[in-house]
Amino acid sequence: MGNVVQKYDYDSFGNMSLKPHFIKQPFTFTGREFDQETGLYYYRARYYDAKAGRFITKDPIGFDGGDVNLYVYVGNNPVINTDPSGLFEVNVIEFGTRNSPTYGALVFVEGKCDQFVTVMGSSWPNPNNSNPGIAPGTYSAVYSATGHRGRTNGIRLRNGGAIPTIGPNPEQNNNWFATGINIHCGYSETSRGSAGCITLRPFTCSEVWEILTEGETGTVTLKR
């Protein structure tokens, strides 16, 4: 059995009510570094002011996160939600082609409390779908348990707005863009079930959703 050598007490938004001084170390509320000089917490993408209960700068992805308040911390509900980094990050490195394998991409996800997972996925639509596939790039995104078609888990890119494609898209009058693009679970081991979205190998999806927080914003980067 170990002994407690230091204890911190906070209110819901991270204001310290007990400040021990006998061990100096920076990691405090939600495991983030507390800056003694400014009184701010460092959340990677931006700094958080516990006294105000908000970030001191705007969300880097702007209104694409689907929130009208660009300074809000965890939807003003710190009892239920967390936002340890200020942003999640997804990197999709595609090694496969449209035709094979079904899931030929590595998908690296950094979520809450700096947790990482790596799963297989695909950035390609089903081979018989008319969508040419989205273009490589970095896109703003938001996670929701109903982010895919309003029913199942998904990471929605650009709030459902236009994403460039690598060719003309018949679904958009042959313009070079697609809308409603998400990251969601693939249909099966042999079918992505994608009309343009990025898909995850089905049995690995829960590993990704478990490290994301409802309403959390971030970025998705696709490389081929």
Question: Looking at residue 80, what is its pLDDT?
Answer: 63
Domains in the chain, CATH or no CATH each: 9-76 (no CATH), 88-223 (2.40.440)
Residue 77 has pLDDT above 80, yes or no: no
Which structure tokens are listed for 147? 């982010």
Residue 84 has pLDDT above 60, yes or no: no
Complete DSSP assignment for 197-215: -EEE-GGGHHHHHTT--TT
pTM (two decimals): 0.67
pLDDT tens digits for range 24-60: 777 787 778 888 889 898 887 788 899 998 888 888 7
Strand locations in 30-104 (E):
33-35, 40-42, 47-49, 54-55, 88-94
Q: 75: which DSSP letter?
A: G
**Higher per-residue confidence, 123 vs 2:** 123
For the sheet containing 33-35, what is the strand order?
A: 33-35, 40-42, 47-49, 54-55
pLDDT tens digits for range 181-222: 999 999 999 999 999 999 999 999 999 999 998 988 899 999
